[in-house]
Structure 1
């Protein structure tokens, strides 16, 4: 629907309430339910929203180290704006209208720390270069027969998974849980998040879904909405879904791989493909890939944003640890898929399911464009065999503190995303480290409580 059609739909269908939301720095949706009249009144001037949403962490604890807002500013309102092109109906909530918002105003000025606004700036740079980027994100996540109340009561221990055992690509398990499984596929598609594939992964109660590719902003919107939608659908089945990167040390982690390609302005030609090249890669593709390799250590927190992210990025856990690439190799950071022309693409394998899709996709696109604009040569050879053993081009930081510190001091990160965003984002990541560093874990209690 265009703008006039959306407004007409709201007016003509006796709609009394509208839900809208935007993503905070962690990719968590924050929003409201508003009346029809408030919705119509704010379409031009926006909606005042307390800017604490960019001044607190995922537990609503205010940061003590950011400048964008805080006790020093009094936590005022900032204007957010609904994007009418994101209109969809929520099928599991009696078809309540839903919209995505961000902090880019009609004058195109944007709040530096708004993730969706940041991605829109990166897309504009891609447009200026004459390319149309297509993206898709896929997610793995675990499902449990738990509620928010039971999780608290159990202290997040001894949880009951949706199914038992390690049974990847099972046909049996989905059939045993067909009501939930079918609701996921059908209702997500009705919610304009078309699912390309849905299956079990290896692990108790773990699923993987691939979302259909789309233009960059639409793909990021679908990825952000996917995580909350899955949690809401799971809740209706008495389940809790988690998108932690690694919820259990003895089980595989959960990925959030990003697939991407660049196309001609008319969308008719995949610019990553060259049939005469040994690896069927165009020069543009090689430059894009070289840009991601070069920028990877400068932008790692945008791919791996939490303390928990780095528990997944360990050797032998189906997640990369080295700055590597290869053709169809799942042990490297970047995987080139070149089976047929229309599907030729690059898969960035660092992100886990805990990523903020707007930031992870922005990092992937911006660093790829950096390689194109600077005509970087792909001097790093494709890895043959085990990517964990190829440390010739360096390794990824293995913890959030080092990764965030590197990004904070990186001129490359500031060139790509500006001083304001880099300062704010890295401060929030260092805050995460600070909260973790002062905590006392179960591991410490078990190891030291009696014997030390």
Structure 2
């Protein structure tokens, strides 16, 4: 706490945002005056905050919930202290880890789940290195959810209507927004790298530097808050929905990953630069456990619109080198940079859980010496769709996967399934405009 107090004093901090990433990957917590935060004897929040659905409901199955709503003790991660750059007064934000009354990590905290998986790697003397690539759309403000989303108006006074992949001029249409976004990122020391225009109308992609998995998940978590805030200041929305518009492609969060040994050598490469057996087992694990992991990579009902109808989204379990039609891509790189790109993850995924499950799948592949299928060298986008078709299908596969449940935690998986099943059921109760248009008078 002395380090935090010194940082507050040096930066004249008056308020603190105490952040806890929830199941969806959004920020929960408290806002506290800085002097009270320093003098507090221990901040607490109820464990039930992790059981809330995206609609604010509670799952029907509460067998894994303590109905007394017991408190968790929150501990600040001093590595996450940052400014809130859009606040009027000097304000800090700190991400917190959650613990029970005995000092054990909260089983159902997404950050705890990722830490648990990283501990498995640490025990082996391995260090994961990851780099997320996050896509998102800018859209006009939508005040009535009965109306479809529309691309925003750029500085030329017109919305985008044509595909503008990698267009510099199309990005420049929103220069004031992105300049403010980059300023906010710089003040928070977010390691954002390249900004490009993706194939959708006003669809962008931001790349992050390669680094520690927990730090990378924190960066994605904070970046989502940042770009949403920057967009609102320019009277548009930034959305990370997996498939926000019917005629546009979906948004992904591709996760590049490789594993280093204790000496910093890339375990995915042999000394001669060829693919190692370790790498092949890792790919084999990703292939075997992806059907169950889809429940985390595609966590919302909308996610499956991206996978099934999303143009460039993967449709099967193939892997290949320099092939963007597969779900598991090995980019062209030297032996020190050899990595695997997980292309299944949607932009709507919780970054902590997506990285945890991706790394857990590869870990299981290595430990069980699983073998991958033959490399795919052709366009696989037209091959049969072999992934779960709905969130409910994915949850069934997750419940049947004992290996992932053991690594992630039985109670956590039970809670996650209950939450997501409630969300699916809530969605299924809504009567759509399609049903009113085609069924009302025709059946």
TM-score by length of 2: 0.92
- Alpha-carbon distance between aligned partners in 1 of 2:430 and 2:309, rounded to the nearest angstrom: 26
**Correspondence 1:398 to 2:350:** no
Alignment pair present for 1:85 and 2:79: yes
Q: Structure 1 158/415 Cα, relative in aligned 2: closer, same or farther at 3 Å?
A: closer
- How far apart, CA to CA, are the structure 1 residues paired with 2:98 and 2:63? 17
Q: Report the counterpart of residue 288 of structure 1 in structure 2.
A: 282
The residue number in structure 1 matching 2:222 is 225
1:286 CA drift (Å): 1.3
- Post-superposition Cα deviations, 1:70-104, rounded to whole Å, max 9, x if no partner, equal 7xx14343222221111111222255211111214
Matched, 1:248 2:256: no
1:224: Cα distance to partner? 1.3
8 Å Cα contact 1:79-1:103 kept in structure 2: yes
Equivalent in 50, 65, 74 of residue 46 of structure 2: 50
What SS does the corresponding residue of 2:37 show, helix, strand or coil? Answer: helix
Q: Report the secondary structure of 1:69's partner residue.
A: coil
Unaligned runs of 5+ in 1: none
Are the equivalent residues in 1 in contact too, given 2:293–2:358 (CA < 8 A)? no
Structure 2 counterparts to residues 94-243 of structure 1, below 5 A: 94=88, 95-104=90-99, 109-146=104-141, 151-153=142-144, 155-157=146-148, 159-162=150-153, 163-165=159-161, 166-243=163-240
Bigger shift: residues 339-348 or 131-140: 339-348
- Deviation of the 1:60 alpha carbon: 1.3
Residue 441 (structure 1) aligned to one of 420, 426, 432: 432
For residues 341 and 407 of structure 2, the distance between their equivalents in structure 1, rounded to whole angstroms, comes to 21
How far apart, CA to CA, are the structure 2 residues paired with 1:230 and 1:316? Answer: 23
Answering whether residue 385 of structure 2 is matched by residue 386 of structure 1, we say no
Query: In the alignment, what sits opposite 1:32?
Result: 30
Q: CA deviation at 1:38?
A: 3.1
| Per-residue deviation, residues 334-353 of structure 1 (Å, max 9, x unmatched) | 00124223332110000110
Shift of the 228–13 alpha-carbon distance from structure 1 to 2, 3 Å rule, reads closer
Check conservation: 1:66, 1:428, Cα contact below 8 A. no
CA distance in 2, matches of 1:289, 1:197: 27
Deviations 1:255-283 (A, max 9, x none): 111111111224x3222223636xx3122
Aligned to 2:20, the other structure's residue is in SS state strand
Mean CA deviation greater in 358-367 or 187-196:
187-196
- Note the aligned Cα RMSD (angstroms): 2.1
* Length, aligned pairs only: 436
- For 1:260, what is the secondary structure of its paired residue? strand
With the length of structure 1 as denominator, give the TM-score of the two structures: 0.91
